[in-house]
């Protein structure tokens, strides 16, 4: 499945049809196709329009609080006794995660397209909150589809969305998680094509979403690159991020893809272990298939039916992955590894105690991988990890597992 | 095969009436009942059969067809068994065209070439694959057309005159006009809007135009059939099956009989369509 290893760059995809090698594409119903083509046209115009970029940058600076800091985690570095660990602190963004980067970009586009209603899907609720936030900021009604299981385990975010004026629609189909929420959002979109903009939360779905979301999230990697050069005078040896759908990861990774000396690791949710069914490691344990508008690695059975994933973290609980990650895996540029629920939980507690930062369960997976690797690296080596979300939303889940009364 | 489909629509045109195209989900609620339903359809007046291929994530379908797919998958239905069902049906009926309808992933995992070969040998005449727009024709449409299998495309209210030629290119058998933007099982729109849309499509193609989404009764079938070359009924049949099941989801004596009664009534609707139109 590997393509030519003699590529000049890993940063040139997708092609005009939205393909990264065999991955990506536009696998959508005909009703949506004219919209997808219109979106692509408007996106192509916007991305090279200085006025659009200036408006987005202004919001990033004054609304979100960018650039987010690159923080040297001194105590954690000492604790692990190896490489110097830096966190890209996107958990300090307005709304508490990297999701706002994408939502601001997309709502500016929705406005340009004359759309008057926003729909979104959400897993952990971070994208739902970010969508509800920008919808409130721009005065548009917003409907968020959320799996019923997730509505229960992410109650604080459900409340936040409602406060922000969004309508949260629980989805009971399937296991009631992110996959089912995305199906339902697509059904809404196909029914309300005229006025509705579908704000996809991750770098997946039909072209141009994977490219567009990546571009909005690449601000993470661009800043991190400048910041680490300023702090250390050189690029890091290793960059690490968690992958669910993969938007925070592609945002950090993309600006570094052509820097050969930088090793890149994406961390999937290994759930309760890859031997059973209860995990979300689509890249490590899945195979290529077609779902939600793109070809990508999926968890599926021999008949092409999609499996339900499992993760302690609702944000990683998705049986697919953005198509660019699938391509980067097959090209061998990025290494993807699983981290189990328990390892993520231990990392969550470690960071809380050692650095005074409560991370979300999603980046806790990335952190668990850093905990494994950093001690084996030299003290002169540098790791940058994307701390893509804060853990306030997860304290009830963690409390329950640790047997604490809240 | 394209010949069986073309002959069926030519014969119906000669009779001066539209086709009744019936959809149901293969394997709902179990293989044997489902095959019995399939065999009963032409006898009750169905002219073309759309055989639903169950998929875990049917993004363009409403709750009725979603649940039918879940029942079928729970009953152990697979793509291989759906092809087997067509093969079993063909033992007693070699005239009724069969169109497989569903989503791409199970076909992709089965393997496109192997799927087409097995579909042809099972007596499949056409394919409707919801998530393969013309932009993705390389995947399945072109290989299917090359092997003589009809690739039937959906046209929708969002398919404007500029886009219609793209949608019609490589389409054969018939054009399936989805009468509204939305998922299967929604309400039927105004028939006068539909006849306008059918006329618009017919200005671009000589293929028969069948209309679906929202047709539930003989009266609907009659109204739509006044302008369309075929009337597609899906959700109403799937709902009929669902309502006949026992509490634990098993087929009952009413399962096949209920579909027969419904389809006979719909068939009377399409047979009255042009009479009414001529009045």
Residue range of the domain that includes A196: 19-60+98-213
Q: Does A185 touch chain B (CB under 8 A)?
A: no
β-pairing verdict for A167-171 and A196-198: unpaired
Distance separating the N- and C-terminal Cα atoms of chain B? 37
Would you call A304 an interface residue with chain B, using a CB distance cutoff of 8 Å? yes
Q: Do A273 and A332 sit in the same domain of this protein?
A: yes
How is residue A91 annotated by DSSP?
G
Give Cβ neighbours of residue A368 (< 8 Å, ≥ 6 apart).
A267, A339, A343, A344, A346, A347
> CB contact, 8 Å: A186 with chain B?
yes
CB count, 10 Å around CB of B16? Answer: 10
* B-chain residue closest to A305, CA distance: B56
Cα B170 from Cα A308, distance rounded (Å): 36
**Domain assignment of residue A7, yes or no:** no
With vertex at residue B228, the alpha carbon angle to CA B223 and CA B229, rounded to the nearest 5 degrees, is 130
pLDDT of B135 strictly over 60? yes
Measure the CA–CA gap between A191 and B52, rounded to whole angstroms. 21
pLDDT for the residue A6: 62
Chain-chain contact of B186 with A191 (C-beta, under 8 angstroms): yes
What DSSP character marks residue A31?
Answer: G
Task: Tell me: do A209 and A224 sit in the same domain.
Answer: no
Do A238 and A202 fall into the same domain? no
Nearest in space to A282 (alpha carbons), one of A301, A297, A296? A297
Clarify whether residues A266 and A312 are in a common domain: yes
Asked if the Cβ–Cβ distance from A305 to B106 is below 8 Å, we say: yes
Examine the domain organization and report whether A81 and A179 are in the same domain: no
Contact flag B60-A25 (C-beta cutoff 8 Å): no
What tokens appear for B221 in the block? Answer: 């079938």
* Residue A188 falls inside a structural domain: yes
**Chain A residues closer than 8 Å to B186 by CB:** 191
Pick from A33, A194, A300: which is nearest to B109 by CB? A300
Are A51 and A70 contained in the same domain? no
Which contacts of B62-67 are long-range, i.e. CB under 8 A and separated by 24 or more positions? B62/A187, B62/B183, B62/B184, B62/B185, B62/B186, B62/B235, B63/B185, B64/B184, B64/B185, B64/B235, B64/B238, B64/B239, B64/B242, B65/B25, B65/B184, B65/B185, B65/B234, B65/B235, B65/B238, B66/A173, B67/B242
Backbone CA torsion sign across B136, A46, A250, A307: negative
Count the residues in chain B.
Answer: 279
Q: Does A306 touch chain B (CB under 8 A)?
A: yes
In this predicted structure, what is the pLDDT of residue A1? 45
Q: Strand B175-178 relative to strand B154-155: parallel, antiparallel, unpaired?
A: parallel
Instruction: Tell me which of A246-255, A313-322, B88-97, B98-107 is least confident.
Output: A313-322
Residue A107 lies in a domain: yes
Torsion of CA A68, A214, A197, A33, to 10 degrees: 180
Tell whether A302 lies on the interface with B, counting CB pairs under 8 A: yes
In a domain, A2, yes or no: no
- Tell me whether residues B178 and A290 touch, CB distance under 8 A: no
CA-based R_g, chain A, Å? 19
Last residue of a domain, one of A213, A241, A276: A213
Neighbours of A16 (CB within 10 A): 7
Residue with tokens 């069986």: B4
pLDDT of residue A320: 92
Report d(CA B152, CA B161) in Å as an integer: 18
The verdict on residue A12 lying in a domain is: no
Residues A239 and A376 in one domain: yes
Round to whole Å and give the CA distance between B106 and A132: 35
ipTM: 0.95
Q: What is the pLDDT along chain A (406 residues), one digit of tens a residue?
A: 444 556 789 999 999 999 999 999 999 999 999 999 999 999 999 999 999 999 999 999 999 999 999 999 999 999 999 999 999 999 999 999 999 999 999 999 999 999 999 999 998 899 999 999 999 999 999 999 999 988 988 888 999 999 999 999 999 987 788 899 999 999 999 999 999 999 999 999 999 999 999 999 999 999 999 999 999 999 999 999 999 999 999 999 999 999 999 999 999 999 999 988 889 999 999 999 999 999 999 999 999 999 988 888 888 888 899 999 999 999 999 999 999 999 999 999 999 999 999 999 999 999 999 999 999 999 999 999 999 999 988 888 899 999 987 7
Are A293 and A28 spatial neighbours (Cβ–Cβ below 8 Å)?
yes
What local confidence, expressed as pLDDT, does residue A5 receive?
54
pLDDT of residue B273: 86
Of B59, B134, B156, Cβ closest to residue A186: B59
Q: Are residues A302 and A355 in the same domain?
A: yes
Output the pLDDT for position A2. 47
**pLDDT number for residue A153:** 80
Domain boundary among A151, A180, A213: A213
Domains parsed from chain B with CATH numbers = 2-278 (3.20.20.70)
Burial zone of A174 (CB within 10 Å; 0-12 exposed, 13-18 middle, 19+ buried): buried
Find the closest chain B residue to A292 by CA distance.
Answer: B59
Domain contains A13:
no
Helix (H, G, I), strand (E, B) or coil at B23: strand
Considering only CA atoms, which of B128, B179, B176 is closest in space to residue B154? Answer: B176
Please determine, for residue B278, whether its predicted confidence score (pLDDT) is greater than 70: no
Structural domain contains residue A3: no
Short-list A320, A375, A365, CA closest to A341: A365
Bridge partner list, A240: A265, A385
State yes or no: is B61 an active-site residue.
yes
- 3-state SS, residue B117: helix
CATH number for A158: 3.40.50.1100
Report, in this order, helix, strand and coil percent for chain A, each rounded to 5: 45, 20, 35
Residues in B lying within 8 Å of A, measured between beta carbons: 55-62, 66, 73, 78-80, 103-110, 130-136, 153-160, 163, 167, 178, 181-183, 186
Q: Which residues of B touch A304 (CB under 8 A)?
A: 55, 79, 105-110
B137 catalytic per annotation: no
Judged by DSSP in three states, A400 sits in helix
Give how many domains chain A has, as a whole number: 2
Do A206 and A123 fall within a single domain?
A: yes
- Considering the domain architecture, whether residues A132 and A269 belong to the same structural domain is answered as no
- A32 and A154 in a single domain? The answer is yes
- A55 and A182 co-located in one domain: yes
Q: Which among A213, A237, A259 is the end of a domain?
A: A213
Give me the DSSP letters along B29-97.
S-HHHHHHHHHHHHHHT-SEEEEE---S--TT--HHHHHHHHHHHHTT--HHHHHHHHHHHHTT-SSS-
Tokens matching residue A80: 């692990």
Instruction: For residue B64, list chain A residues with Cβ-Cβ distance below 8 A.
Output: none
């Amino acid at each position: 499945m590997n393509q030519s290893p003699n590529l000049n760059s890993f940063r040139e995809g997708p092609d005009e049809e939205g393909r990264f090698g065999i991955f990506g594409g536009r696998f959508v119903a005909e009703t949506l196709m004219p919209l997808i083509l219109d979106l692509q046209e408007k996106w192509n115009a916007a991305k090279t329009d200085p006025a659009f970029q200036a408006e987005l940058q202004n919001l990033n600076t004054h609304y979100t609080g960018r650039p987010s800091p690159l923080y040297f985690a001194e105590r954690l570095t000492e604790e692990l006794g190896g490489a110097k660990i830096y966190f890209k602190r996107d958990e300090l963004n307005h709304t508490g995660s990297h999701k706002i980067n994408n939502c601001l970009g997309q709502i500016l586009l929705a406005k340009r397209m004359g759309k008057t209603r926003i729909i979104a899907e959400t897993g952990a609720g971070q994208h739902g909150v970010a969508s509800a936030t920008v919808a409130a900021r721009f005065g548009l009604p917003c409907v968020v589809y959320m799996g019923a299981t997730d509505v229960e385990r992410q109650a604080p975010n459900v409340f936040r969305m409602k406060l922000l004026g969004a309508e949260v629609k629980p989805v009971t189909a399937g296991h009631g998680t992110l996959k089912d929420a995305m199906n339902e959002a697509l059904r809404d979109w196909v029914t309300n094509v005229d006025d509705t903009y579908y704000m996809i939360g991750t770098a997946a779905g039909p072209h141009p979403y994977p490219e567009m979301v990546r571009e909005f999230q690449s601000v993470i990697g661009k800043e991190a690159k400048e910041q680490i050069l300023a702090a250390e005078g050189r690029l890091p040896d290793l960059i690490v991020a968690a992958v669910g759908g993969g938007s925070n990861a592609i945002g950090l990774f993309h600006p570094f893809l052509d820097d050969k000396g930088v090793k890149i690791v994406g961390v999937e949710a290994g759930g309760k272990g890859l031997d059973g069914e209860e995990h979300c490691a689509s890249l490590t344990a899945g195979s290529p298939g077609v779902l939600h508008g793109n070809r990508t690695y999926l968890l599926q059975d021999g008949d092409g039916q999609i499996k339900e994933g499992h993760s302690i973290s609702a944000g990683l609980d998705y049986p697919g992955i953005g198509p660019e990650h699938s391509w980067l895996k097959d090209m061998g540029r990025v290494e993807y590894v699983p981290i189990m629920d328990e390892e993520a939980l231990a990392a969550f507690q470690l960071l809380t105690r050692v650095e005074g930062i409560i991370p979300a369960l999603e980046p806790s997976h990335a952190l668990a991988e850093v905990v494994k690797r950093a001690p084996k690296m030299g003290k002169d080596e540098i790791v940058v990890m994307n701390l893509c979300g804060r853990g306030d939303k997860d304290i009830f889940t963690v409390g329950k597992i640790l047997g604490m009364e809240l | 095969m394209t010949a069986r489909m073309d002959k069926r629509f030519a014969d119906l045109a000669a009779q001066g009436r539209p086709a009744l195209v019936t959809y149901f989900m293969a394997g709902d609620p179990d293989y044997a009942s489902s095959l019995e339903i399939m065999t009963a359809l032409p006898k009750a007046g169905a002219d073309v059969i759309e055989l639903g291929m169950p998929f875990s994530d049917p993004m363009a379908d409403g709750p009725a067809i979603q649940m039918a797919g879940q029942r079928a998958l729970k009953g152990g239905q697979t793509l291989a068994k759906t092809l087997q069902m067509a093969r079993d049906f063909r033992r007693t009926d070699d005239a009724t065209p069969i169109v497989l309808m569903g989503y791409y992933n199970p076909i992709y995992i089965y393997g496109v070439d192997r799927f087409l070969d097995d579909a042809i040998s099972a007596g499949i005449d056409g394919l409707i694959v919801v998530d393969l727009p013309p932009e993705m024709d390389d995947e399945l449409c072109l290989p299917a057309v090359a092997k003589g299998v009809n690739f039937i495309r959906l046209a929708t209210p969002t398919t404007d005159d500029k886009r219609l030629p793209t949608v019609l290119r490589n389409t054969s058998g018939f054009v399936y006009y989805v009468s509204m933007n939305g998922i299967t099982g929604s309400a039927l729109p105004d028939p006068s809007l539909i006849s306008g849309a059918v006329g618009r499509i017919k200005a671009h193609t000589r293929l028969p135009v069948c209309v679906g989404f929202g047709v539930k009764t003989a009266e609907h079938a009659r109204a739509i059939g006044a302008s369309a070359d075929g009337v597609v009924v899906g959700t109403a049949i799937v709902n009929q099956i669902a309502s006949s099941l026992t509490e634990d989801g098993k087929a009952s004596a009413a399962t096949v009989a209920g579909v027969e009664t419904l389809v006979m009534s719909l068939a009377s609707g399409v047979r009255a369509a042009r009479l009414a139109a001529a009045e």
